[in-house]
Amino acid sequence: MRTRRSVVLGLAGVVAGFALFAGIALLAGSGGVDVRLGDDVFNAGQVERLAAAVERDGPIAIADASPRRARDLYLQHLGPTPEEGWLAFSAQAPGAERRCLLQWLPAEEEFVDPCSEWRYPGDGEGLLRYPTMVEEGRLSVDLRQPSSPGSSPRVP
């Protein structure tokens, strides 16, 4: 008797799980539910720590963890103090595939696109930019309002 009850409860749980999954899939596919795994404002961390890391190792690559994986970016610090001079820009050239992550060349202080070999200056000119904000010693990047790339890259 106890075994039969366990089997019935187990089957009821499986059916309920499938029904829940199907309902979520149906709602997500209908456009009535906005499924988002990332925030619109990225909290990058403490500016003193980040500035020291950029000075030591160069611009910091941040991979996009959202399902679209369309906003990989670099954090660059070119200011006189940890609170000033922050830049955030796309880690790929405009229209490039995700696999073409720009590579930092420290000696030249510029980025190179490994797929096209086009070069971009260390301030990210020619790349899609994102506004940055420093509040209470913490850097945030607003991913909602990117600005246009601007000028063209330097051709190899």
pLDDT at 30: 44
Averaged confidence pLDDT in the chain? 80
**pTM, 2 dp:** 0.70
Mean pLDDT on 69-94: 93
Amino acid at position 116, single letter: S
The first and second tokens of residue 27, run together, are: 């709602």
154 DSSP assignment: B
Q: Could you give the C-alpha distances from 104 to 8, 58, 92, in angstroms and in order?
A: 60, 7, 12
Q: Which residues pair with 93 in a beta bridge?
A: none
**Contact between 151 and 126 (Cβ < 8 Å):** yes
Task: Give, rounded to a whole angstrom, the gap between the first and last alpha carbons of the chain.
Answer: 78
